[in-house]
Amino acid sequence: MAHEILERLGKSVELRLGAIALITLILMIPLAIIAELVNDRSVTREETLSEIGNEWSGKQTLLGPVLVVPYSSSEYMSGATGEPLATVRHAFFLPNTLAITGTVEPEIRYRGIYQTILYSADLTISGDFSEADFSRWSINEDDIRWQEAFIAFGITDMRGVKEEVLMNWSDSMLTFESGMQEANILAPAGISTPVMAQQPNEFSFNLQLDGNDELTFIPVGKTTRIDLSSSWPSPSFRGAFLPDQRTISDSGFSAAWQVLDLNRAFAQSWRGETEALLMDAAFGVSLYPPVDQYRKTQRSTRYGFLLIGLTLLAFFLTEMRIGLRAHPFQYILVGLDLCLFFLMLLALGEHMAFNHAYILSGIATIGLAALYAGSIYRSRGVGLLTAGILTILYTFIFLLLQLQNYALLAGSIGLFLLLSLTMYLTRNFATLSRTFRSMESEKSE
């Protein structure tokens, strides 16, 4: 019974086309398993990198310096009678100018086969404050607690601070201490130091800071100027503001930002909480690996259906031309060989550059398929034809992976050309079908 079905399948062109379509769909199962494996390996990598970063220091966002001045306020509680309740409120004042210059030096750390990019920043922070002005809020001078004024500087991950932070405040040298005091509404962690706030003051201090991946800043100055340089050649500038000037080369990058108070959504002074508005203005740089092999491998598996379908179609058209046919099981083996390309690409990509992994995986897959095709049809020419077709398809997919911005355009044009070629080769399909049937009849006789 099975033999009769296979005989009918061999003689019917329509049934063979249906069988090829079914085989292509079945081969999507191992392809989906490989795609899921790519995703699992990517998640494992992210978890490993997160562990390394947490042991070093996390992503850093710097906020400040901010001048904080407490003041007394009398308030009546709802439904209460008698004397008002005395409370302490805080007013926040931002600097007139803020300049941050420094270097961000990358450090690559490995755990197993995974690597992450850490950094050590050497920053010089300077600027000036005007005298804290309470006149706009009609607060009595006697209620202002000048002796409790302090400077707060937010740092996302305090583990990254490598040296004692000393600030030159006008003619005084002050030492920052851990904690933001009552200014913790601005940032979850940071440093602070008491200051004199009843006169204009200039400030400057150095900050040695370790971090992981990102370094961002909040533009708290009326004019904020950031100048960074690094030996890392592939930065990603992100956040609310892009650099006004930047230079990127194989030896590193330099970038400069200038942000005015008019560019932000918060004022130079306020009372109360404005944390959300402050964080919305963050900007800076991320150091990231130039190639993510998992992302590219995941993208390449999306073309698996195209690769398998066109290859099996090419086999079918070859059979129609030469009058020979392969067993359906042999079609499945060729399809599995094409699926293994993506598995090899994933495995090799974890140990070498993606492009090298792609070329080696492609050579192995194309070589095996070409040798097998030549053996099936007992023709070296068919093997070379198979190698040529697969080389074109793999080259096409490789180019799509490189052209991120134009992948859709290039893919559409490429598919149109492939469809045009297929239509040209099958323009005499009815004649080829009759010829194939007559050849099969002669063989059976």
pLDDT digits (tens, 9 = 90+) for 91-148: 899 999 999 999 999 888 777 677 778 899 999 999 999 888 888 887 888 888 888 8
Q: What is the pLDDT of residue 2?
A: 47
Q: What is the pLDDT of residue 384?
A: 86
Query: Do 243 and 388 lie in a common domain?
Result: no
Q: Domain boundary residue among 261, 290, 319?
A: 290
Query: Per-10-residue mean pLDDT for the chain, 445 residues long?
Result: 49 70 84 85 78 78 90 64 70 93 87 79 93 82 86 91 90 88 82 86 92 91 94 89 92 93 88 73 84 76 81 75 71 85 86 86 89 83 83 84 71 76 67 53 50
Judge contact between 116 and 107, C-beta under 8 A.
no
Query: Do 128 and 267 lie in a common domain?
Result: yes
Alpha helix segments (H runs only) across 266-353: 275-280, 293-301, 304-322, 328-349
Q: What is the pLDDT of residue 243?
A: 93
Asked, for residue 54, whether it belongs to a domain, the answer is no
Q: Domain boundary residue among 267, 290, 313?
A: 290
Q: CA-to-CA distance for 286 and 214, rounded, in angstroms?
A: 4
Q: Which of 342, 341, 346, 380 is nearest to 363 (CA)?
A: 341
pLDDT digits (tens, 9 = 90+) for 320-350: 666 667 777 887 888 888 888 888 888 888 7
Q: CA-to-CA distance for 235 and 232, rounded, in angstroms?
A: 7
Which H/E stretch holds residue 67? strand 60-75
Asked, for residue 161, whether it belongs to a domain, the answer is yes
Share of the chain above pLDDT 90, in %: 23
Q: What is the pLDDT of residue 433?
A: 55
Query: Do 79 and 165 lie in a common domain?
Result: yes
Single pTM value for the model: 0.70
| Residue 221 structure tokens | 């100055």
Q: Domain boundary residue among 235, 267, 290?
A: 290
Q: What mean pLDDT is reported for the chain?
A: 81
